[in-house]
Structure formats: C-alpha cells, structure tokens
Homo-oligomer: A and B are copies of this chain.
Amino acid sequence: MEAMARSCVDPLFRLLGCYMVLDANDRDALSALEESPLIDKIARCDIAREGENPHVIRLLVSGWACRYKDLPDGRRQIVGFFLPGDFCDMNVAILSELDHSIGTLSRVRYYEIDPERFQDVIDCRPRLTRALLWHELFISAIQREWLLSIGQRSPAERLGHLFVELYFRLKAVGLTEGHSYYFPITQHNLAEANGLSLVHVNRTLKEMRRDGLIEITDRKLRIIDFDRLKQITMFNSNYLHFNRE
C-alpha cells in the first residue's frame, strides 16, 4: 500500500475504489499501465482537437485538463474537467472521431496508453472492466448535473456547486487538505465552464467571498463554510455514484 501511494496510477486506483473495493490483483494490473510513456505538457495547450481520431488512451496523472467544444465564431464551452485519475478518451476503439477537443488548464502529466495494452489489462478482469464502465457513467452523470446547473442554477449557485463537486472529486483521489484544494484555473476558465461572462464570474466570486463562503488565494481554493455552500447550491452528491465516501 505504501508503495502504491507513491505510484502514478494511485489517483485512478483511489477513484475506482470509490465504486468498488479492488483487490491486489486489480491493483497490480493497473500498475502495468505505468509502463506507458508519461507525457508532460504546459498549461493552456491542446492535447487533442475535435475531429481527430486519437490512437492512444490518455490517463491524467497530475494537473488539470478539460474537454471543450467550440463554435465557428469562437464561442467556447468547457464541458468537463479532467482531474488526476481521469481517463480522457477511453473509447477510442468505439468512436472514430472526437466530438470535442481536449486542452490543458495547468501543467499536466499523463500516460499515453496503447489501446491494446489497455485491453490486455482489463481482459479477464470483469471487476476492473466494470469499474471502468462505471467511470464512464460517472463522467456522463456529471455532464447531466452540469446541464442542470447551467440551465437552472443562478451564477452563484453554479459556481458554488462546481466548487463542491470538485472538492468531492479531488477528495476521492486524495488531493484535498481540509476543505481546501489546489485550484489552478482562471476566472476565464470558470466563465467558459459555466456559460457566464468573465466579468460576471468576477463579481459573483466577490459576492461569495463577501458572504464568507469561499476564498481563492494563490492558486488555492478554500471552502470556508462547507455545509452552507452545499445547502445554498442544493448539492446532492448522489450523481457522483460514490458507493463509499
């Protein structure tokens, strides 16, 4: 376990562990992924563009990335965040073309896994296969919650809800300290993810700061009044489908 704690697939192992208890064999199988090339990228660059057909499966190890979609006239919407432990494109074998782009938000490191190696790892491991399918459904459920947020929640509720969601996801992979976490993204990114203007995000954050809900300083987000924030944003954690918290 100690050795595992320092391993690069640790976030993935922890994340899948929120769904089901994995045994040592599964853990060893996942470790085989670490033989894949480890890529290092700076913030604010594309990993893949819409329309491409990626030939590798990417597993994020550190840093934040995102899925985004853009329109011909430049408008852009972030449709999901990738945090350590997340797969960016597990289904390269099924879909022939990406319907979205993938970009880095901070400096990131990720594995580029050969789909065949990936298949070898999950072959004959129904529990692992099941856990990875869960990961897909997990991402899909988050998308639905975002639709609810953008469609119905007020700007403050939207931002607050996102902060709580990120807290739970980062906690799952062991990247929180109390109710604080590393928060490498800009207000511009928050605007793109929430369908708001940069200016309005700024004002809304100011308001939330004034209300003693959160604090963002030095690339670090601290949720000051966690219970109140959960209540205000009407956060119901069932959509994360963490069987064990």
Contact = CB atoms under 8 A, between A and B. Distances in A.
A73 interface: yes
Interface in A70-124: 71-73, 75-77, 79-80, 91, 94-97, 99-100
A217 interface: no
Given A99-B241, A151-B150, A234-B71, A94 B133 contact: yes
Nearest to A241: B95
A144 B100 contact: yes
A45 interface: no
A13 interface: no
Given A77-B151, A152-B71, A241 B97 contact: yes
A28 interface: no
A39 to B, nearest CB: 24
Contact of A151 (B134, B136, B140, B195): B195
Interface string A188-223: 000000110000000000000000000000000000
B144 A76 contact: no
B152 A147 contact: no
A99 B144 contact: yes
A148 B95 contact: no
Contacts of A143: 140, 143-144, 147
Which one of A51, A71, A75, A148 has the greatest number of beta carbons of chain B within 10 Å? A148
A145 interface: yes
B148 A147 contact: no
Given A234-B71, A241-B95, A147 B145 contact: no
A75 B143 CA distance: 18
A44 interface: no
Contacts of A148: 69, 71, 77, 79
A225 B73 CA distance: 22
Contacts of A134: 94-95
A29 interface: no
Interface in A27-72: 50-51, 67, 69, 71-72
Given A71-B234, A94-B133, A147-B147, 4 more contacts: A95-B134, A99-B141, A143-B147, A152-B195
